[in-house]
């Protein structure tokens, strides 16, 4: 698997090389009929199993920015058992031109220390709150008290994860 980011823990790739953005948009954004499903809702909540490099979040944030109404709020919950450090994320995300403004803002707010638990990150300029949970998804979502409008389920091969 040359030229792609691999998960050492699961011996699998995070996304297809050279097609990561398109793959994520098709599977998660179009697959959940976004932005149509957040039309006319004052709040919309997404839960994701496996934050990875944050491509789903950044794609969602970009689409949200382009389509949401001023009074709408986006809540995005995502868990990650093996969080990457900020330098790894910067190396992976910064070359993606279409996400650059969102990546910069995200990296400025990303937890500097990979402490397990809940990290609430507010993006006022986008009416968005990211709750990034470093830890196991089963444990994290078991006690989550939220109405989830859309689920983004981990893309790793089931037999490896």
Residue 14: inside a domain = no
CB-CB contact of 57 with 51 (8 Å): yes
Q: Structural domain tally of the chain?
A: 1
For the beta sheet containing 150-152, the strands, ordered from the edge strand earlier in sequence to the opposite edge, are: 117-123, 128-134, 73-80, 43-49, 150-152
In a domain, 71, yes or no: yes
Number of neighbouring beta carbons within 10 Å of residue 42: 9
CA distance 96 to 56: 13
The residue-averaged pLDDT of 150-161 equals 67
pLDDT in tens, 86-108: 999 999 999 999 999 999 999 99
Please tell me the predicted confidence (pLDDT) of residue 23.
85
- Is 5 within the bounds of a domain? no
For residue 108, the enclosing domain spans 44-160
pLDDT higher than 90, residue 51: yes
Tokens representing 37 are: 């499903």
Beta strands in 2-138 (DSSP E): 6-7, 12-13, 43-49, 73-80, 117-123, 128-134
Residue 117 lies in a domain: yes
The Cα 94–Cα 81 span in angstroms is 23
Q: What is the pLDDT of residue 38?
A: 98
Secondary structure letter of residue 35 according to DSSP: T
Q: Is residue 30 part of a domain?
A: no
What's the CATH number where 70 sits?
A: 3.40.50.150
Residue 31 within any structural domain of the chain: no
Residue 75, in any domain of the structure: yes
Residue 34 lies in a domain: no
pLDDT > 90 fraction of the chain, expressed in percent and rounded: 71
């Amino acid at each position: 698997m040359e030229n792609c980011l691999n998960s050492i823990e699961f011996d699998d790739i995070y996304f297809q090389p050279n097609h990561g953005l398109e793959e994520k948009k098709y599977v998660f954004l179009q697959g959940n009929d976004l932005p149509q499903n957040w039309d006319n809702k004052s709040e919309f909540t997404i839960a994701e199993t496996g934050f990875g490099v944050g491509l789903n979040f950044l794609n969602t944030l970009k689409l949200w920015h382009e389509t949401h109404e001023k009074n709408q709020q986006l809540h995005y919950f995502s868990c990650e058992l093996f969080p990457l450090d900020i330098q790894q994320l910067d190396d992976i995300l910064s070359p993606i031109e279409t996400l650059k403004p969102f990546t910069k803002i995200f990296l400025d707010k990303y937890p500097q220390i990979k402490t397990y638990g809940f990290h609430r990150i507010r993006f006022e300029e986008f009416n968005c709150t990211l709750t990034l949970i470093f830890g196991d998804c089963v444990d994290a979502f078991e006690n989550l008290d939220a109405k989830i409008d859309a689920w983004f389920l981990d893309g790793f091969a089931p037999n490896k994860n």
